[in-house]
Amino acid sequence: MNGKFRKISKKDLLIGLDRIINDGRKLAALTRKGEKVLYDYVTKSDEILMQYIPTVLSPKKFFLPQDEVILEYTTKGKVTAKIEAESMVLFGIKPCDLHGIKILDEAFAESNGDPNYLAKREKSLIIGLDCSRLCDEKAFCYKVNAQNITTGCDFMLHNTGIDFAVTVYTEKGAEQLDKYFQTEIKSENILDDFNQAKAAAFSKFGTFKQLKQLPEIFENNKNHSVWQTEGDKCLSCGSCILVCPTCYCFDVADEMALNLKKGERIRRWDACMLNSFAVVAGNDNFREEPKDRLKHRINRKFNYLMKKHGESVCVGCGRCVRACLVNISPKTIAETITGELSTGG
């Protein structure tokens, strides 16, 4: 923005969000529904929560819904692909989840691309909300540097206490910011204070000591005792996968209508920690024990997919740690394998 800095007052922010809703676009944001705090559609800006409490599910569900009809068919042979995508705005997405979206974007764009995911992404505008400090003691974004972003949203807001500094990341972001929001252009760097406060809040936390070498280290530790000890505790409940912003495995099933004349093909979230996921045709199972599935899951985060995406595919949001009733944590496992735990690092 020509070396200039933009800011928006809280009042103008809320006015802009209401404009989006009044324009007939869907707006999803952090909100309360009964006892739950979650990302959901809101009908007025005053339903939006700014103070972040980590949610059970990540915003991934807006692009890859829990259950999605992807095709309709008739027994006469008519097959219709179904792609549902509405223009929507996602507001208040945190850096860890923005990293998650970036990873999903890469995964679903691969080879021919996933038309359903890509259509939903294409029609969405993502407004980030930066974190000035760690959200809770279960989060470990700092271990993989996911508290800072370079991409993943259209524009990002940084709460300075009085108002919000804005960083624009995409053209679409710039255009939509101008369309809906009253901003002020400043010549001094209003982000400095925010950045300094953030750096101070995170200064006592460091990344994994060998962050870049994690794939290699995990590759060399397939027989580490941690797999057995942690695997023995595992309930194989699948919660850790369901809540993860970067897990994207799904199952596909054909559901006939009761009249047996037509049907739908549905894809739904699946989870590699479940025994049922590991069972293949003929009732064979290549990952029979919880430890085998845990090893696979954690290697997907810090090894196999990390090589592919060039960054840790665990973004340290801590959702799986909050969800796991037996305290299995990717952070603890990585620290055990790298030896950080025993050396007190």
Partner 1 sequence: MAKPKVAFFDFASCEGCQLSAIDLAPEQMLDLLNVVDIVEFREAISEKAAKYDIALIEGSITRDCDVPRLQDIRNRSKVLVAFGACAHTGGINALKNFQKKEDYQKAVYPTDPLKYETTVTRAISEVVQVDAFIPGCPINTMEFVRIVKNLVLGKRPDIPDYSVCVECKKNENICVYEKGMHCLGPVIRAGCDAKCPSNGGYCYGCRGTVTKPNLHAQKDVMQKYNLTFDQMTDQFKLFLQRNREVFKNAG
Are residues 132 and 95 in contact, defined by beta-carbon separation less than 8 angstroms?
Answer: no
Member of 31, 55, 221, 299 binding partner 1 (CB under 8 A): 55
Binding mask 194-233 for partner 1 (x = CB under 8 A): --------------------------------------xx
Decide whether 39 or 208 has the Cβ nearer to partner 1: 39
Member of 177, 227, 245, 267 binding ligand SF4 (CB under 6 A): 245
- Neighbouring residues of 146: CB distance < 8 A, sequence distance ≥ 6: 95, 96, 99, 312, 315, 316, 317
**Using CA atoms, how far apart are residues 345 and 298, in angstroms rounded to an integer?**
21
Decide whether 19 or 233 has the Cβ nearer to partner 1: 233
Told to check if 246 binds ligand SF4 by CB under 6 A, we report yes
Told to check if 260 binds partner 1 by CB under 8 A, we report yes
Member of 185, 268, 326, 339 binding ligand SF4 (CB under 6 A): 326
Per CB under 8 A, contacts with partner 1 among 227-246 are 232-239, 242-243
**Which of partner 1, ligand SF4, none binds 255 (CB below 5-8 Å, type-dependent)?**
partner 1
Member of 190, 234, 334, 337 binding ligand SF4 (CB under 6 A): 234
* 234-249 per-residue burial string, b: 16 or more CB within 10 A, e: under 16: bebebbbbbbbbbbbe
Lateral strand order in the sheet of 184-186: 36-41, 26-33, 88-93, 124-129, 155-159, 163-168, 5-9, 184-186
Give the DSSP H/E element, type plus range, for residue 262.
Answer: strand 262-269
Told to check if 30 binds partner 1 by CB under 8 A, we report no
**Using CA atoms, how far apart are residues 61 and 293, in angstroms rounded to an integer?**
24
In the block, which residue shows the tokens 């996911």?
A: 146
The total number of residues shown for the chain amounts to 345
Residues that bind partner 1 (CB under 8 A): 35-36, 38, 55-57, 66-67, 232-239, 242-243, 253, 255-260, 269, 271, 274-277, 290, 323, 325-326
Residues that bind ligand SF4 (CB under 6 A): 234-240, 243-246, 273, 301, 314-320, 323-324, 326, 328, 330
